[in-house]
Amino acid sequence: MCGIVGYIGKTHAYPILIKGLKRLEYRGYDSAGVAMINDNGNLNVYKAKGKVADLEAYCEDKDTSGCVGIAHTRWATHGEPNSANAHPHYSASGRLALIHNGIIENYLTVKEKLVGRGIAFKSVTDSEVLIQLIEYIMQSNNLELLEAVQVALHQVIGAYAIAILDREHPDTIICARQSSPLVVGLGSDGAYYIASDASPIAEYTDKVVYLNDGDIAVLQPGHDLRVVNMDNETQHPNVKQIDVTLGQLEKGGYPYFMLKEIFEQPSCLRDCMRGRISVEGYHITLSAVIDYRDKLINARRIIIVACGTSWHAGLIGKQLFESLCRTPVEVEYASEFRYRDPVLYPDDVVVAISQSGETADTLAAIELARKAGAFVFGICNAIGASIPRLTQTGVYIHVGPEIGVASTKAFTGQVIVLSMLALCLANERHTISDEKYKEMVAELIRIPEKMEKALKTNEQIERLAPIFTYAKNCLYLGRGYNYPVALEGALKLKEISYIHAEGYPAAEMKHGPIALIDSEMPVFVIATRDKLYEKVISNIQEVRARGGRVTALVTEGDEQIRKFADHVIELPDTIECFQPLIASIPLQLLAYHIAVCKGKDVDRPRNLAKSVTVE
Ligand code: M6R
């Protein structure tokens, strides 16, 4: 939920830290802070409520010198967003400073003990407890920092990615990870970088180490990376090469990352399919299916676990797997699944879907499934994140870093991967004919081009958006494959414009929500030409009969719905099961333009964080 950055080397740390925080701001932006040790050995900590820009303004007249520093952007869990609760936290003596992402679950018990020993706290956070504990252990046992960290981490329960500065040792940063992501970058000049994900590091080095749970890293410029565990056993870090370009991390002329990411979808999906679909033979090859063919095609059942937008993609996956592979599928909210006592069989395949690969509930669901002996398959975007490392196999969606908090290209990337996977398995299981398989693969190849056409609705949607700015509630209706599209459209609007919106299966509307319909409530209906088209027309009539205002997404050339909808948005035709890839685009654009009209900060919606690493 929070973002952490650190640098130790030969150059001025502060600009690297601030730039890194800006790249990580999507993870939390209610307060931010930075700590540096200057050449005189002073450990300076500066913190501000608000965004990274507020911290920068606050630091303008401060001493930000020093070649070692750590920084943090916060998404509050314990304690309101203010500068006292912002990180870094000083230890009681002021010798140490710590940044933390995660939650220390037993912090109250530990805090009580420390307060009993006379330690005063400046914040109400769980994080401050950790640094006070570390210093207390250091002082009372006369230990070095690393030893004290090892003892302290044995005493805390919870999730953490931490980094610590010690003003007595300005040549060292100590960091550790347990259930919260932490990446170490290895600079060519012997410098070290740390961050919650690789995005702040990518412009300085392409060599990184993804720390594992239980790892404690000691970073000293010019020395080899030292990684140990809590029992001081040496760990052997795996250096990986990352492949992220600067262009992928910047807005490229768009006012917001979200708009850039909406427009990137055709090229991202081409990237996602590249090397996996043969254009000549109309054939899909997924290495995960080659490696685990028997396990996957003989699955008794598929259980999809995910949260938010990824869960919506899972609902589309269910329809794809059931209709193409004839395998029964359940779609579960990871947060519910983890606390139920689900029945799992060894021949179940659990598919975990996550853009970030770090969502705490999805990780816990994977853990539960693995303990029960199920085979776990991951669909993830962030390379090297926890989910791909915890699953037996999987497929990356390869849509590049998604920075906008509202997920867009990751959603369509997930749907295209689920489509490829379902087609691949259906072909192996012979549940669809060769002819149908090839016809569908050929259509998948055409999807990016059709998305380009769908993006041309942008101007029309920008013109329509102001009409909906004053709505208090909106209803999104769809059936079949378009029902998850309705859910996703409603979520997008809620997230960034703060208008209440409900996604509903169109026919269910008459079992309740129809009571809400009046001339004040915009109703968005996904009414593309498919087998339920006529039924959706009847649902539109039901809305119209109650004075509702209908905006319909229709297949191009549709004249019928135009007669009774207030507005129609025409979309290119495609096979029914791929319609979500096209129909979700105007709904993303609609949410975006409504939020912009309302003056909202589209990329940083209130109360949200991109990566939900706490439950
Ligand atoms: O990284 P994940 O896909 O696991 O994230 C799951 C949800 O937190 C995420 O999809 C969230 O709902 C987005 N903000 C939706 O736009």
Structure confidence by residue, pLDDT tens digits, 547-578? 889 999 999 999 999 988 999 999 999 999 99
E-strand spans in 223-368?
A: 226-228, 240-241, 277-278, 283-284, 301-306, 329-333, 348-354
Ligand 1 contact via 354 beta carbon (within 6 Å)? yes
Indicate whether 612 pLDDT > 80. no
318 an active-site residue?
no
Domain boundary among 248, 267, 287: 248
Whole-number Å distance, alpha carbon 189 to ligand 1 midpoint, is 37
User: 3-class DSSP state for residue 296?
Assistant: helix
Find the helix or strand (DSSP H, E) in which 186 lies: strand 183-186
> Which residues are paired to 551 by β-bridges?
524, 567
DSSP H helical segments within 100-245, as ranges?
107-116, 126-141, 145-155
Q: How many whole angstroms from 611 Cα to the centroid of ligand 1?
A: 7
- Is the model's pLDDT at 238 over the cut of 70? yes
Catalytic residue flag (residue 2): yes
Tell me: pLDDT of 306 over 90: yes
Q: How confident is the model at residue 102 (pLDDT cuts 50, 70, 90)?
A: confident
Tokens of 82: 């203010």
Which residue is closest in CA terms to ligand 1's atom 14? 406
Specify the amino acid at residue 18.
Answer: I
Q: Which atom of ligand 1 lies closest to the CA of 405? A: 14
- Pairing assessment for the beta strands 192-195 and 207-210 based on DSSP bridges: unpaired
Helix axes 434-455, 257-273, angle to 10 degrees: 160
Domain boundary among 408, 438, 453: 453
408 CA: nearest ligand 1 atom: 16
In a shared domain, residues 229 and 132: yes
Residues 332 and 268 in one domain: yes
Which range marks the domain in which residue 50 is found?
3-248
Question: Does residue 464 sit in the same domain as residue 578?
Answer: yes
Number of domains into which the chain is organized: 3
At residue 27, does pLDDT exceed 80?
Answer: no
- Strand segments, DSSP code E, in 216-328 are 216-219, 226-228, 240-241, 277-278, 283-284, 301-306
How much distance in Å is there from the Cα of 309 to the middle of ligand 1?
5
Helix (H, G, I), strand (E, B) or coil at 363: helix
Is 195 in the same domain as 287?
Answer: no
Q: Is residue 179 situated within a structural domain?
A: yes
546 or 210, which is more confident: 210
434 and 465 fall within a common domain? no
- pLDDT for residue 246: 72
pLDDT of residue 425: 97
DSSP state of 509: G
Asked whether residue 614 is assigned to any structural domain, the reply reads no
In a domain, residue 609? The reply is no
- Shared domain for 130 and 207, answered yes or no, is yes
Same domain, 425 and 276: yes
- Give strand pairing partners of 7: 69, 193
The alpha-helical segments, DSSP class H, found in 117-158 are 126-141, 145-155
Q: How far is the CA of 190 from the centre of ligand 1 (A)?
A: 36
Mean predicted lDDT score pLDDT of the chain: 93
Q: What is the mean pLDDT of residues 238-255?
A: 81
Q: Are 405 and 356 in contact (CB under 8 A)?
A: no
The answer to whether residues 260 and 234 belong to one domain is no
- Residue 76 domain-assigned? yes
Do residues 525 and 377 both lie within one domain?
Answer: no
Coarse DSSP helix, strand, coil percentages of the chain, rounded to the nearest 5 percent: 40, 20, 35
Q: Supply the pLDDT for residue 1.
A: 65
Q: Of the candidates 453, 469, 488, which is a domain's last residue?
A: 453
137 in any annotated domain: yes
Q: Is the pLDDT of residue 293 over 80?
A: yes
Q: Are strands 183-186 and 207-210 parallel, antiparallel or unpaired?
A: antiparallel
- Both 189 and 260 in one domain: the answer is no
Cα torsion through 231, 88, 224, 189, rounded to 10: 170
Is pLDDT above 80 for 443?
Answer: yes
> Domain holding 129: CATH number?
3.60.20.10
Banded pLDDT at 250 (limits 50, 70, 90) = confident
User: Is the CB of residue 356 below 6 angstroms from any atom belonging to ligand 1?
Assistant: yes
Q: What is the CATH number of the domain that holds 430?
A: 3.40.50.10490
